[in-house]
Amino acid sequence: MAIYEPKNILITGAAGFIAFHVANRLSSPNLKFVKGDIRSADLVNYLLITESIDTIMHFAAQTHVDKSLDNSFEFTKNNIYGTHVLLEACKVTGQIGRFIHVSTDEVYGETEEDAVVGNDEALQLLPTNPYSATKAGAEMLVMDYGRSYGLPVITTRGNNVYGPNQFPEKLIPKFILLAMRGQPLPIHGDGSNVRSYLYCEDVAEAFEVILHKGGSWSCLQHQDQKGKESD
C-alpha cells in the first residue's frame, strides 16, 4: 500500500485532550491555531480554501456521557451537525485526499466483565447514551459521503484514553482527585462493566500510522469492486 503524504492538515478539536497530543506529534513546529466552531460552514470552507487543506483529522466532539444525558441536543448539534458541515465542505471544495473520522468503541454498547477484549468491526452498533448515539449517527454520515461522493474516509473506534493534560471530569483524573480528598468513588450500575484504556502518546502514534498507511473506505470499496469485475 502506498504511503499517504499530506501537505496541509486540519485537525479539529486540537485544543482537546487526544487531538492536542496528536497535533504535538505531527505538526507542533508549524502549527497554526484557529479558534472557531465546526458548525460554521463559512469558517470551515474558508479554512479549507485559504489554507489549501488536503487532509482532515476530525477529533472535535462533545464526549462526556453524563453531560449527554443532561443536554443531549448539544451533542446532536456538535457531533452530528458539526460532522455534516465538515463533510459537505469536503464535497464542495473537492480537495480532500483523506478524511479521518475519530469515533469511539462506545458505539458498540456496554462491555461486560467476561467479554473478549476488542470488538469486531462488523458488530451491530448498540449505543446506550446520547453521546455514543450521536457518534454512531456521525459515522453513518461519514460512510455515506464515502459511498455517495467518493470521499476517502477512515473511521476509527478507539477506546478510553488517559494521560497528561486530561480534563479532570474524566474517570482516571476524577478518581485520583476524589481519592486525594478522601471522597467516595462513584460508579455506574453494579460495577460489572469494564473499560479498556490506552495511553495518550500510544494513541497519537497510532493516528500517525493511520494518517500515512490507513486504507480509506472509498479506496477499499473501489479495489473490492475491481476485484469483482475481474472475476
Active site residues: 105-106, 131
* Residues 205 and 161: beta-carbon distance below 8 Å: no
Sign for the CA dihedral angle at 154, 156, 162, 168 comes to: positive
Question: Edge to edge, what strands does the sheet with 55-58 contain?
Answer: 9-12, 55-58, 98-104, 153-158
Q: Can you read off the three cell numbers belonging to residue 147?
A: 459511498
Quick check: helix, strand or coil at residue 192? coil
Strand spans (E) along the chain: 9-12, 55-58, 98-104, 153-158, 160-162, 197-199
CA distance 211 to 217: 13
Range 82-115 burial, b when 16+ CB lie within 10 A, else e: bbbbbbbbbeeeeebebbbbbbbbbbbbbbeeee
Strand partners, 40: none
CA angle 56, 213, 2 (to 5 degrees): 110
